[in-house]
Structure 1
Amino acid sequence: MKTLAYVYDARCYKYQDDIFGVFDVTVWDRFLDGFDEIIVFASIYKSDIDTIKKLNLNKLNHPKVEYVHVPFIDTPKRLIKNFFINNSVFKKEFCRVDAVVIRVPGQYCNNAFHVAKKMNLKVGLEVVGCPFDAFWNYGNMQGKILALVYFYWMKHIVKHSDYVLYVTKHFLQKRYPTKSKHTINASNVDVQVSNKEKVINHRLSTLENNIRNKKITLGLIGSFGVRYKGHEEILKAVSTLDERKYIYIEMIGGGDYKWVEKLAKSLNIENNVKILGKLKSGDQVLNWLNKIDIYIHPSKQEGLPRSVIEAMSQACPVLASKIAGIPELLDNNYLHKTGDFKHLSLQISRIIFNSVELEKMINANFKTALAYDRSILSTKRKKFWLDFSENL
């Protein structure tokens, strides 16, 4: 019997005997062809049912999956305090496993990697983002120092791991190269691509009606708990437009959004902005994407963004920042430099009532999304991790 340790610095929540989180329990299927059980290392907090419902979390219980708590690291003080605690957790629990897979970047992934290597365990990675961009754009000097620290930590981890799965085609591979001969690119985002004719016709019909009525809705997905997801850029971009009276912005995501409301008010567009809070991944998000007209993603930190691919799978026009793996998805005409809200404003103005260009974007985006169909990526991931298990 083979047991896998999976290290992922997600925040999970425990209510009675159940574990809840933002991801879906089906993510473990990719490993279970090669492993009989999985021990997941995450930060687990006791919660109540009202909080679970408010956060729109998914139940993560699985007969072949066990969850182990690892203290979260989100400040320099906790980094020092929890370093030894986390090391002791990994040393104890890794005695029960045959291999380790780590999702990077992460706050305690460095600990897990070095403990696994000292115990001569094979290490596989899921490389899903760039810590340098995340910390550098956090907004203070402490963030910039941490950006350099985590950047070099991650370069070391990726370089010396045994199996490496990248979610991008080029960007993360170039920034974080590996010595391993066992690598693939497979997005951590997969979508169920629907009937092409139905999806595109619905999008064209809705857009045509909204253009005629001069009411265009822009959408953005991103946590309000961080300042690098582009909330500021979309608000500033719309506030400078002559057409702003025809434009409405809807935002979804968790966290405290008061700062966004305050910014919208200071820009005199508070009546144009609607904050919907957190929606559950899957049908809730996809249904919302079908109601908006254009998806905007001015993020300053990414790997390969789920929200952009999901929007494209619904044939939604997309404007986004030119960062990480996003240029692998969109034509350069629909990209802007991070933080450049003036360029974003010009792009919005150019396309919002341009039916010909919008139709071009709709068709191109849906075609790109086909490469991220669930059936294709699921098979690719399963084969990779099965090979990992067979070569222990």
Structure 2
Amino acid sequence: MPSFSRYCNLEDAKEHFVDEWRPDLSAIEDAFVKMVLEKIFVLDSIERPTAGDIAFLLQTLNISTNELSARDPVSGEGRRSYIISDSSSSKISFSWTPFVRAITDGDIKAVKRHLSKKGGKNARGDLALMVTANVGHRDVVELLDPTDKSGVTALMRTAERGDVVVARALMTKQKKLRDSDGKTALIHAAQRGCKEAVRVLLEHEKGMKDNQSHSALYHALKTGHMETAKIVLPHEDPTDENGVTALMRAAARGDAEMVELLAPLQKGAKDKDGTTAFAHALKNKHEGIATVLRKHEAPSRTPLMCAAVTGDVETARRHLSGKDKKNSDGETALMLSAKVGNEGIVNLLDSTNSPADSREHASFSWLTDRYYMDTLMTIYPFERNGLQSLFKVEKQQDVLKQRDGTYTKEPRR
């Protein structure tokens, strides 16, 4: 194996490594340590930071801009000496000390001279970028990693790479900026599935949308980064106190694209009323979306059941032969129509107007268990079968008798 010292032969290294080789650092949890190792383990020694570079970075990142300015707010000499003194005393030779001084002083001309000599940005340039962002010179940041003609900033590029340490340093100056498409750094990170960068940026940029009104959640879903989408979802489209999910809201408003994207994450969920996204789509007359969701949430629902939920009497008439069929939750079309209060369907399906036979008795029991009192009074009018006094008492007391003989004001699920 070749050595990773500055004196190793690059040609020798190429015999052992393929192009674009990168070490597997997945076991490294600390973002800063991972970033440093990524910079160290490169084949070209010119691109590799020195021990002095890294030592300087460690010292500088612990110094706030206020502390630096307090040393000598006019000349900046105190700032330079404060940053460099510890390194000098440890006898570490900095190959880029003039560059460091230019950065900490915000000396644009000196930074430009240094960059022209060094031939632009390299792996060590990322360290310089962190120092610059930490010190707070926005103009110098632009020199080191300029915003391009599309408005893509250093933070956006860093977010795309998932470089959390550099991203944190840049956020102070570049958070909430947008490129020409209206995309933020968070959206760039979400598009690439950079989970850690997304976590860092959510606090500052959640909810921001691009020029097409698409959020980071949309872009994560659209590009197939489901784990990233799971991170963003509670921040940008959370489930509310009634258990209504992002998928249910998309289904209710008829947003076909978001339904397709969210279904793999939230299919089958029910709100506090036991309603799925499929049912929300049906209730809001979005039949196309209901068709999409049916395969995810209601494969056991018949055409009659779907008509019972939407209140489509004509469709229900054509499928009355399936009147006694039940879905996977044990519900018949009559139960479903009663649940959403579609009186026309209830009347159509209630052919006997009596709970005498087993089918109607089951429907009656199901409705009382769930406290659909208004629907019960529609199905079984007061004057029939001796039920008048029962309904009057229960309606006045606003209670239901449970199987154990006690009464409750709450519906049982």
Normalised TM-score (structure 2): 0.24
Larger Cα-atom Rg: 2
TM-score by length of 1: 0.25
Structure whose residues are more often helix by fraction: 2
